[in-house]
Structure 1
Amino acid sequence: MIHHPKSSHIDPLEITLKEEHAYYSHVEAKPNGKPWYNDIKMYLEKQEYPEDITSGQKKTMRRMANSFFLNKDVLYKWTPDLGLLRCVDAIEATELLEEVHAGTCGPL
């Protein structure tokens, strides 16, 4: 057994419940019909910036591009543990979420 001092205070955990399931929070398509990562991918492929961006936005894009890796046509994001996360568009993300929640990928 451990001696528990009477003067210590433990903060209670706050648990919130969502009103809808997680798979309702899917990725939305951009208005121009291109995936969210299109600008980063184009910069890595051709070293070209999107039209009408400022010099500050160019600097941000260069900094962001350092955390991405392009392998042929597939874009990956580096993780802190040196793993790679595959970047997907809105349609593929929705399909993957439906497969996971339907159990077609098999049990974990």
Structure 2
Amino acid sequence: MTASFWHSSWSHSQHLRAAYPLLFACSRRKGRSVAQALDDNRWVLDLPDRSTPLLLEFVHAWREIRHANIVLQSGVPDSICWTLTNSGQYSPRSAYLLHFIGRTNSDLL
């Protein structure tokens, strides 16, 4: 499976479409993979113009993408990896345990 630039959580914890809804709404190519979008910053060229309402979101998105430190390797397709298991593979058990991250135990119950 290929990681989607707008729809996958590849840069930080949130999808870019949710973090930057104005940019997503204006993007002409919402189906690009991470590799396609980052190659020569094509995601920027997918925006129709650089109007003032988009400027703030654009600057924040640009910084987030640059700080993600993604290294593209020619000929190697991008992919999605489940980070909650050592193998990188999804399991129902790991998804279930996700609900309890950050929960504290109490002797009161």
- Determine if the TM-score, normalized by the shorter chain, exceeds 0.5: no
TM-score scaled by length of structure 1:
0.31
Higher strand proportion (structure 1 or 2): 1
Larger Rg: 1
Higher helix proportion (structure 1 or 2): 2
